[in-house]
């Protein structure tokens, strides 16, 4: 059975035939049940994501009303990926340059080694443990690259797990309250880290500071908020990328008729298989399935007249599968708000996937997808637990 609509498609077992049907239709499509325009094909997705009048937030609500004025809302207000205009051009450039300078092979190796250590230290052993490991590992790796000590990583990962609730419209009041507490704790931890950054020039934090000075960005609060934002993207998007790669790995093993728990051992295949699989998954089963754009002024996009105040849902996963897209990967964005951490996310996921192939996982895993309007993030369990 096909998904009932593009939001339901995010957590559907196989939404891609449905997406292909949408992507084959030219221009924008109107979805009356959701009161949204849809951009599903590669050309229409590019047109929306590149259009100056299609903004990442509504003009009248730059910060979601549920968190405005609270600690999580103050972090949100500084995020370059959630804002437009000249005020954010300097921080965006600094972050892009710093992330471009990250040694992705070192990040992959760090994810591999930290993944093995994290499994051992948590005394993990099953599918449910895999879900927790998958959530904690990518954010721990990037927090480590930023400069946090290994002993601090569990707390950072736990805070981030609570903070990301502020980004979801499905969160309740209790989750939002914990997100505000987590935002406060994260910012305080980053301030401590900031005081010692000059002593560790090899860290990502030191690189961001150096690039910030080069471009003239001297707003400490904005810098720290965007580092929190980087971790939040890692927590969800990179964890989802890893989880979907684990599913793809299991399906590959099934297709080959193999029965080795966790797939073929990494020592037999080397790291190349993990990098290739993650790259394919980032295109074919991306963790971010869609994104919204809010029309600021009456305009025409992809041949369709749009009115100020309307919303376009850009189906990134559908555009990935459009043959006219020439292999483009939209899952990490496109245009002004393209994620500068795509290469880092793939490197971290590849190292983590390599570690997973060496873990004593159950021969078979079951999964469902976490409830979400845009994120395709599997939650694993043992088959008997899911029954």
Looking at residue 337, what is its pLDDT? 72
Decide if 45 contacts 28 (C-beta within 8 A): no
Whether the predicted pLDDT of 26 surpasses 60: yes
Looking at residue 84, what is its pLDDT? 78
Looking at residue 126, what is its pLDDT? 54
Global pTM reads 0.91
Q: Hey, how many other C-beta atoms are within 10 angstroms of the C-beta on 5?
A: 15
Residues 6+ apart with CB under 8 A from 156: 139, 140, 143, 148, 186, 189, 231
Residue 40 main-chain phi, psi, to 5 deg:
-110, -35
3-state secondary structure string across the chain: CCCCCHHHHCCCCCCHHHHHHHHCCCCCEEECCCCEEEECCHHHHHHHHHCCCEECCCCCCCCCCCCCCCHHHHHHHHCHHHCCCHHHHHHHHHHHHHHHCCCHHHHHHHHHHHHHHHHHHCCCCCHHHHHHHHHHHHHHHHHHHHCCCHHHHHHHHHHHHHHHHHHCCCCCHHHHHHHHHHHHHHHHHHHHHHHCHHHCCCCHHHHHHHHHHHHCCCCHHHHHHHHHHHHHHHHHHHHHHHHHHHHHHHHHHHHCCCCCCCCCCHHHHCCHHHHHHHHHHHHHCCCECCEEEEECCCEEECCEEECCCCEEEECHHHHHCCHHHCCCCCCCCCHHHCCCCHHHHHHHHHHHHHHHCCCCCCCCCEEEECCCCCECCEEEECHHHHC
Decide if 22 contacts 39 (C-beta within 8 A): no
Annotation: CATH topology of 65-285+334-386: Cytochrome p450 (1.10.630)
Please indicate whether residue 92 or residue 274 has the higher confidence score (pLDDT).
Answer: 274
Decide if 38 contacts 23 (C-beta within 8 A): no
* Burial of residue 226 (number of CB atoms within 10 Å: 0-12, 13-18, 19+): buried
Cα 146 to Cα 98: distance, rounded to the nearest angstrom: 11
Q: Hey, how many other C-beta atoms are within 10 angstroms of the C-beta on 323?
A: 11
Cα 10 to Cα 1: distance, rounded to the nearest angstrom: 14
Looking at residue 334, what is its pLDDT? 81
| Sign of the four-CA dihedral 295, 296, 302, 307 | positive
CA distances from 46 to 276, 282, 287, 288, 349 (A): 25, 18, 19, 16, 26
Tens of pLDDT, residue by residue over 130-184, are: 889 999 999 999 999 999 999 999 999 999 999 999 989 899 999 999 999 999 9
Residues 6+ apart with CB under 8 A from 30: 36, 37, 38
Structure tokens, 98: 């710093």
Whether the predicted pLDDT of 124 surpasses 80: no
Structure tokens, 248: 């793809």
Q: Which residues pair with 193 in a beta bridge?
A: none
Tens of pLDDT, residue by residue over 71-95, are: 999 999 999 888 877 677 888 889 9
Tens of pLDDT, residue by residue over 275-304, are: 999 999 999 999 999 999 999 999 999 999
| Percent of the chain predicted with pLDDT > 90 | 72
Burial profile 180-200: b = 16 or more Cβ within 10 angstroms, e = fewer: bebbbbbbebbeebbeebeee
Q: Any idea where the domains of the chain sit in the sequence? A: 65-285+334-386
Looking at residue 218, what is its pLDDT? 82
Looking at residue 31, what is its pLDDT? 96
Tens of pLDDT, residue by residue over 328-338, are: 889 887 877 77
Whether the predicted pLDDT of 266 surpasses 80: no
Looking at residue 382, what is its pLDDT? 66
| Percent of the chain predicted with pLDDT > 70 | 92
Please indicate whether residue 116 or residue 217 has the higher confidence score (pLDDT).
Answer: 116
Burial profile 59-73: b = 16 or more Cβ within 10 angstroms, e = fewer: eeebbbeebeebbbb
Decide if 67 contacts 169 (C-beta within 8 A): no
Whether the predicted pLDDT of 386 surpasses 70: no
Of 146-150, 218-222, 236-240, 245-249, give the lowest mean pLDDT range.
218-222
Tens of pLDDT, residue by residue over 347-380, are: 999 999 999 999 988 878 899 999 999 999 999 9
């Amino acid at each position: 059975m096909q998904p009932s609509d593009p939001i339901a498609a995010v957590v559907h077992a196989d939404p891609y035939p449905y997406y292909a049907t949408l992507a084959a239709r030219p221009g924008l499509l109107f979805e009356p049940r959701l009161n949204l325009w849809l951009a599903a094909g590669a050309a229409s997705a590019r047109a929306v994501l590149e259009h100056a009048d299609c903004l990442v937030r509504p003009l009248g609500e730059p910060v979601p009303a549920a968190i405005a004025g609270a600690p999580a809302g103050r972090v949100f207000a500084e995020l370059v990926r959630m804002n437009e205009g000249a005020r954010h051009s300097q921080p965006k450039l600094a972050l892009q340059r710093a992330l471009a300078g990250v040694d992705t092979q070192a990040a992959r190796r760090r994810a591999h080694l930290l993944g093995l250590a994290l499994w051992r230290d948590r005394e993990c052993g099953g599918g449910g443990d895999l879900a927790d490991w998958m959530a904690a590992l990518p954010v721990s790796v990037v927090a480590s690259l930023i400069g946090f000590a290994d002993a601090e990583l569990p707390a950072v990962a736990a805070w981030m797990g609570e903070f990301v609730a502020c980004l979801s419209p499905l969160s309740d009041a209790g989750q939002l309250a914990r997100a505000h507490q987590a935002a406060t704790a994260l910012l305080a931890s980053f301030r401590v880290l900031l005081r010692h950054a000059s002593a560790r020039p090899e860290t990502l934090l030191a690189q961001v500071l150096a690039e910030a000075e080069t471009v003239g960005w001297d707003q400490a609060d904005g810098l720290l908020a965007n580092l929190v934002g980087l971790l939040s993207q890692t927590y969800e998007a990179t964890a989802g990328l890893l989880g979907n790669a684990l599913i793809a790995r299991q399906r590959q093993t099934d297709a080959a008729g193999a029965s080795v728990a966790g797939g073929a051992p990494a020592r037999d295949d080397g790291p190349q298989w993990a990098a290739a699989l993650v790259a394919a998954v980032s295109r074919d089963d991306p963790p971010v399935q869609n994104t919204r754009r809010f029309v600021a002024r009456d305009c025409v996009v992809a041949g369709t007249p749009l009115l100020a105040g309307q919303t376009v849902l850009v189906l990134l996963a559908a555009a990935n599968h459009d043959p006219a897209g020439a292999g483009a990967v939209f899952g990490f964005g496109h245009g002004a708000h393209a994620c500068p951490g795509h290469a880092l996310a793939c490197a971290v996921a590849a190292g983590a996937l390599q570690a997973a192939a060496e873990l004593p996982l159950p021969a078979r895993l079951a999964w469902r997808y976490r409830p979400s309007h845009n994120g395709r993030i599997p939650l694993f369990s043992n088959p008997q637990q899911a029954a």
